[in-house]
Amino acid sequence: MSFWDLRSDTVTKPSAGMRRAMAEAEVGDDVYGEDPSVRALEERTADLLGKERALFVPSGTMANQIALLLHTRPGDEVIVGERAHCVWYESGAGAAWSGVQFAVAGRGGLFTAEEMRAAIKPRSAYLPNTSLVALENTHNRAGGRIVRLDETRRIAALARERGLALHLDGARLWNASVATDVAMRDYAAPFDTVSVCFSKGLGAPVGSALAGSAELITRAHRYRKMLGGGMRQSGVLAKAALYALDHHVQRLSEDHAAARTVAEIVSRARDARVDVSGVDTNIVNIGLVNERAGEVVELARSRGVLVNAIGPDLLRAVTHLDVSRHAEAAAHTLAEAIDETTTL
Ligand SMILES: *Cc1c(COP(=O)(O)O)cnc(C)c1O
């Protein structure tokens, strides 16, 4: 049975063109600094983000963890939005490697500068030292929500005033950039470090990057090796990411349109609660009136549509380059599965 897979944009498989580019990649040993494809990707990513340097890493988790290592000391506190990726989906790595704890600003994922102000602890020997603000744009758990540029700038201005470092988890910053027609470098400008993923909506099989000043990325390079992220002929992977930058960025708008279609169709299911106007990019959170998310997932799967249950009463559907053209049909199947499962 073949599936329409709306679980995540990480499930995309390299296209024929991408595989050809990978097969033809010029490579060398990147731990010796000799891989021309990796160097090309790092330079291009740094340029896109308006930073001095970028470092190719195996995953977004590693990029975020290196950022925590760069900006904090054990016992520090990091301000995040509710349900941040680095708190929920990184296996507790921030506590394990950097020894930090997290303070949540605001509700629902996004936060304002004022909400951040309330989360900053006063300097005191008794209190954790707030040293970093980590923003997520787009915000994954909040349903692909975009943090607006003006709010980003207000948050950054306050962080600077209070002497805090700034990291942007921009795993899906491409989506925010395309949806708002704001350049990646404009979103990235207020931050010391920015992580981006090539393996989500861009459709590359592996890889993320961390960008920042030359000084920070020199230190990041050492942490990458320490964490086991030094790779050898990684140019085959870098080439896939370069191909994605050439071919898969502007088309993200198709995924955003497909996500709105999914939201509209599924919102008509009687027991579904979807904030259609809150669908900023390619992620749709679907609330259910009762705790039957697991049952809906099973019924939809039996009819060829895959979605994730991210809570007992919450489903998530994500559009991407391998599924967006089927989004309408998949959404009808999903809406039927919701109606048949949740109605008492
Ligand atoms: C996917 C994602 C990451 C990184 O995940 P990996 O699977 O480790 O590449 C980081 N932040 C956000 C917001 C993400 O969605």
Q: Which atom of ligand 1 is nearest to the CA of 199?
A: 9
Q: How far is the CA of 283 from the centre of ligand 1 (A)?
A: 14
Rounded Cα distance, 177 and 190, in Å: 15
The reply to whether ligand 1 has any atom less than 6 angstroms from the CB of 60 is: yes
Strand partners, 80: 104, 134
Atom 3 of ligand 1: nearest residue by CA position: 60
Query: pLDDT above 90 covers what percent of the chain?
Result: 98
pLDDT value at residue 1: 72
pLDDT at 299 over 80: yes
The reply to whether ligand 1 has any atom less than 6 angstroms from the CB of 208 is: yes
Q: How far is the CA of 89 from the centre of ligand 1 (A)?
A: 8
Q: What is the pLDDT of residues 134-151, one digit of tens each?
A: 999 999 999 999 999 999
Q: How far is the CA of 306 from the centre of ligand 1 (A)?
A: 20
Q: How far is the CA of 212 from the centre of ligand 1 (A)?
A: 18
Instruction: Read off the tokens for 266.
Output: 């599924």
Helices marked H in the chain: 16-23, 36-49, 60-71, 85-88, 93, 113-119, 149-161, 173-180, 184-188, 214-226, 235-247, 252-267, 293-302, 327-342
Q: What is the mean predicted confidence (pLDDT) over 215-225?
A: 98
* Nearest by Cα to 178 from 239, 254, 117, 124: 254
The reply to whether ligand 1 has any atom less than 6 angstroms from the CB of 85 is: yes
Q: Which atom of ligand 1 is nearest to the CA of 84?
A: 13
Q: Dihedral (C-alpha) 57, 59, 62, 64: value to the nearest 10 degrees?
A: 110
pLDDT at 329 over 90: yes
Ligand 1, pocket-test mutation among 167, 200, 224, 320, most atoms within 8 A of CB: 200
Model confidence at 2, pLDDT cuts 50, 70, 90, reads confident
How far from each other are the two terminal CA atoms of the chain, in whole angstroms? 30
Q: Which atom of ligand 1 is nearest to the CA of 62?
A: 8
pLDDT at 20 over 90: yes
Give me the residue label for tokens 């983000």. Answer: 49
Q: What is the pLDDT of residues 60-95, one digit of tens each?
A: 999 999 999 999 999 999 999 999 999 999 999 999
Rounded Cα distance, 256 and 319, in Å: 7
Q: What is the pLDDT of residues 24-53, one digit of tens each?
A: 999 999 999 999 999 999 999 999 999 999
Residues 95 and 101: beta-carbon distance below 8 Å: yes
* Nearest by Cα to 292 from 278, 272, 276, 275: 272
pLDDT at 343 over 80: no
Rounded to two decimals, what is the model's pTM? 0.97
pLDDT at 157 over 70: yes
Q: Which atom of ligand 1 is nearest to the CA of 64?
A: 10
Atom 8 of ligand 1: nearest residue by CA position: 61
Residues 292 and 319: beta-carbon distance below 8 Å: no
